[in-house]
Every structure is written in structure tokens, then in C-alpha cells.
């Protein structure tokens, strides 16, 4: 049996499969409307694949393999299924001529074959990817917090609409989202691992934004890895720490764990890109398409991120497994164990 699987005691889904699918559509439609209204976003189409070697695809933590294949019409040059669209979106802002304080939203579908499959991780990834043009003066932690608060309000309103249609879902999110830097979290729980620290803070506050992911902390370790060429995680911020990015983390009472639903941040400018590439010994990327355009300052300054569609549905519908709200591949032993415990994977 897969040891990563969590089986909640006496789990019983609140909605059967048919009603679950209807509720998923309600959540996705509602949240997308709320998010676009809050952040001034317009919907655009986005690629599933990009050409290898352009620097457009994201490296996430820098170690994950990408799904790639040769393309006959490109003389067998290789294309890659996207990991996310952080860099593509920024290029799209320039292509569409998006004005300051406005942005774009798209559905991002990805394949991540190196994921360790469990209740919240799957090979198939679906998220709302968004990007918004900002000014130089808005590259601050206070502006980052302002945008996070707007996203959280969109989530809260979606939770309210869900209850209107399905009264059995009583709202569980706190009125406000909390903020803490990864260094502050380390000082609170110095003898814990990064994930243990996330767990303890989530259990206490239920919804928070963890700032500053990617740079080493005072113990010499990173809270988690981040690629050097999309989020800005080395720039000092006005709170006296380093980093202009972070994760939205909720407390998942069904699974009894911290539950990340979004990774986002103010994106690198020319100076922070060069600094982070040097820090991560990845200076060879400067010649790639995306990086060269950014260094030549042909791309707008921006803030952006991804919000997990299946994760948000899973959370709001109190599901025990992400496979209850999306189709993916699961080991047969996991399927059997889930079915035995009323966790029905689609």
C-alpha cells in the first residue's frame, strides 16, 4: 500500500459524484469571475506545449523532468509540456499590450511525471495562471500583501456562493488571511522542519501567506526551492527580510495538514534576475529568449501566480483526495484502498 496516502477516519463525502461535478463547475465559474474582477484580468488562451531551449518553460524547483517529444514539422526539434506559465504570461503581457494595473488570466494544464502521488499531488495539474502589469513603485511587500488579500477575498466569496447552493457547506475560512515571513516562522519553530513549521502555523491560523521562499534563512537552509528566473526571492523587502514572493496556505481539516493552494509573487526585474541567476550558478540562461528579452527590458514589470483549480475545489468541497475532483492516473493499490474508505476517485 502507498504509504503517502492519508485515509481520514470515518470519512464520508458530503456530495455524491454527480452533484460533485456540478459543484466543481459552480466553484470554478464563481472564483474565475471573482478573481478577474478583483485583479482587473482578462481571459486569454494559453499553450499546452512550448519549444525546448527557449527558456519559456518553468523549472519549478529546478529538478523535475519535463514531458517532451520531437515535432516532425520543426525538423524533430523538441517541444515540452508546460510546467506552468509564469514566463509565457509575462511575454503575453507585452504581446497583448496590457496596461499597468491590468492583467491576464488563463487555464494552465500541465503534466508533472515526477510528482510523488498522494492525496494532494497528481501527475495532471490544473490551475488558474494569472499575471498583472505593475509599476516600479509597486515592487514592494506591502503591494504583494494587497494582492494576496484580494485573492483571499475572491476565495471567501466563492465559499459563500457554494453555501448558497449547498447549505451543508458551512463557511470555514477565517475572515482575514494572516501574513508571516519564512524567517519569522523559523524563529517561532526553530527545531522543526519547514513542512512541520507550515503545519503548526496553519493549524493555529487556518489561512496565511508565507513570504520569502527561495532564499537561504538564518539557519543556512531554504524554506523551499524556487527557480531563479520568475519570482523575486532575493530582493530585500520593507519588513526587513528578503523576498517578494510566497504561498497561500490553508488548514485542511479533512486531512489534518497544511494545504498550499497558490504560489505567487512579484516577478524578477533585470537586476534581480541577474542576481538570482548568479546566486544559483545558472548564468548560462541569460542567452535564452525569455531571459534576453527581460535583460533588454522588453517585458513589463509584473506580479503573478498560479492557483490550483482542483486544490481549491477539493478544499471547499471537503474532499479527502484530489482524485475526487479531477481525472488522473493513480496506482491500483491506491484506488482500491480509497474505494474501501469511501474515497471515490474519478
Is residue 91 included in any domain, yes or no?
A: yes
Q: What is the pLDDT of residues 125-141, one digit of tens each?
A: 999 999 999 999 999 99
Q: What's this model's pTM, rounded to 2 decimal places?
A: 0.94
Task: Determine the pLDDT at residue 63.
Answer: 61
Number of folded domains in the chain? 1
304: domain CATH number is 3.30.930.10
Catalytic-role residue among 107, 260, 335, 337: 260
What pLDDT, on a 0 to 100 scale, did the predictor assign at position 176? 98
Out of 90, 112, 267, 311, the active site residue is: 112
- State the average pLDDT over residues 144-171: 97
Please say whether the beta carbons of 39 and 103 come within 8 A.
yes
Q: Reduced to 3 states, what is the DSSP secondary structure of residue 237? A: coil
Active-site residue, 328 included: no
What backbone phi and psi angles, to 5 degrees, belong to 222?
-80, 145
Determine, yes or no, domain membership for 8: no
- Model pLDDT for residues 305-345, shown as the tens digit of each residue: 999 999 999 999 999 999 999 999 999 999 999 999 999 99
5 within domain boundaries = no
Length of the chain equals 346
Cα–Cα distance, 301 to 230 (Å, whole number)? 11
What DSSP element (H or E) covers 202? helix 194-205
Find the domain containing 76 and state its range: 17-340
Report yes or no on 1 lying in a domain.
no
Asked if pLDDT for residue 295 goes beyond 60, the answer is yes
Residue 345 falls within a domain, yes or no? no
Q: Which of 127, 272, 302, 326 is catalytic?
A: 127
In a domain, residue 346? The reply is: no
Catalytic residue, candidates 34, 122, 262, 263: 263
Averaged over 170-178, what is the pLDDT?
A: 97
- Quick check: is 35 in a domain? yes
Q: Is residue 10 assigned to a domain?
A: no
* Mean pLDDT in residue range 98-115: 93
Does position 68 have pLDDT exceeding 50, yes or no?
A: yes
* pLDDT at res. 82: 87
Q: What residues contact residue 220 under an 8 Å CB cut-off, 6+ apart?
A: none
CA contacts within 13 A on the Cβ side of 23: 31
Cα-based angle 158, 153, 111 (whole degrees, multiple of 5): 65
- Decide if 263 is catalytic: yes
pLDDT tens per residue, range 249-288: 999 999 999 999 999 999 999 999 999 999 999 999 999 9
pLDDT-derived band of residue 55, with 50, 70 and 90 as boundaries?
Answer: confident
Catalytic pick among 198, 231, 247, 269: 247
- The two beta strands, 207-211 and 178-181, are parallel
Does the active-site annotation cover 58? yes
Query: pLDDT of 182-240, one tens digit each?
Result: 999 999 999 999 999 999 999 999 999 999 999 999 999 999 999 999 999 999 998 89
Amino acid at each position: 500500500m502507498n504509504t503517502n496516502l492519508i485515509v481520514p477516519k470515518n470519512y464520508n463525502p458530503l456530495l455524491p459524484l454527480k452533484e460533485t461535478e456540478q459543484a466543481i463547475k459552480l466553484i470554478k465559474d464563481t472564483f474565475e469571475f471573482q478573481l478577474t474582477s478583483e485583479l482587473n484580468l482578462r481571459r486569454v488562451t494559453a499553450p499546452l506545449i512550448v519549444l525546448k531551449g527557449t527558456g519559456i518553460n518553468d523549472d519549478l524547483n529546478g529538478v523535475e523532468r519535463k514531458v517532451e517529444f520531437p515535432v516532425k514539422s520543426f525538423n524533430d526539434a523538441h517541444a515540452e509540456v508546460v510546467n506552468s506559465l509564469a514566463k509565457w504570461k509575462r511575454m503575453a503581457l507585452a504581446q497583448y499590450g496590457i496596461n499597468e494595473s491590468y492583467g491576464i488570466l488563463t487555464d494552465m494544464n500541465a503534466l508533472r511525471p515526477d510528482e510523488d502521488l498522494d492525496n494532494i499531488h497528481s501527475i495532471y495539474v490544473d490551475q488558474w495562471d494569472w499575471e498583472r502589469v505593475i509599476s516600479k513603485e509597486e515592487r514592494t511587500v506591502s503591494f504583494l500583501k494587497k494582492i494576496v488579500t484580494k485573492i483571499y477575498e475572491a476565495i471567501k466569496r466563492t465559499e459563500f456562493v457554494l453555501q448558497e447552493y449547498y447549505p451543508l457547506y458551512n463557511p470555514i475560512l477565517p475572515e482575514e488571511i494572516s501574513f508571516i515571513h519564512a524567517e519569522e516562522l523559523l524563529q517561532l519553530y526553530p527545531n522543526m522542519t519547514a513542512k512541520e513549521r507550515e503545519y503548526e502555523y496553519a493549524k493555529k491560523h487556518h489561512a496565511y501567506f508565507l513570504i520569502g521562499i527561495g532564499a537561504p534563512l538564518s539557519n543556512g537552509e531554504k524554506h523551499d526551492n524556487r527557480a531563479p528566473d520568475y519570482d523575486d526571492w532575493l530582493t530585500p523587502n520593507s519588513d526587513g527580510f528578503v523576498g517578494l514572493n510566497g504561498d497561500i496556505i490553508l488548514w485542511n481539516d479533512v486531512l489534518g495538514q497544511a494545504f498550499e493552494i497558490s504560489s505567487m509573487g512579484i516577478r524578477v526585474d533585470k537586476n534581480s534576475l541577474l542576481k538570482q541567476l548568479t546566486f544559483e550558478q545558472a548564468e548560462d540562461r541569460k542567452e535564452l529568449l525569455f531571459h534576453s528579452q527581460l535583460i533588454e527590458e522588453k517585458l513589463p514589470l509584473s506580479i503573478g501566480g498560479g492557483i490550483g483549480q482542483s486544490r481549491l475545489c477539493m478544499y471547499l468541497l471537503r474532499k479527502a483526495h484530489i482524485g475526487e475532483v479531477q481525472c488522473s492516473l493513480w496506482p491500483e493499490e491506491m484506488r482500491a484502498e480509497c474505494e474501501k474508505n469511501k474515497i471515490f476517485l474519478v
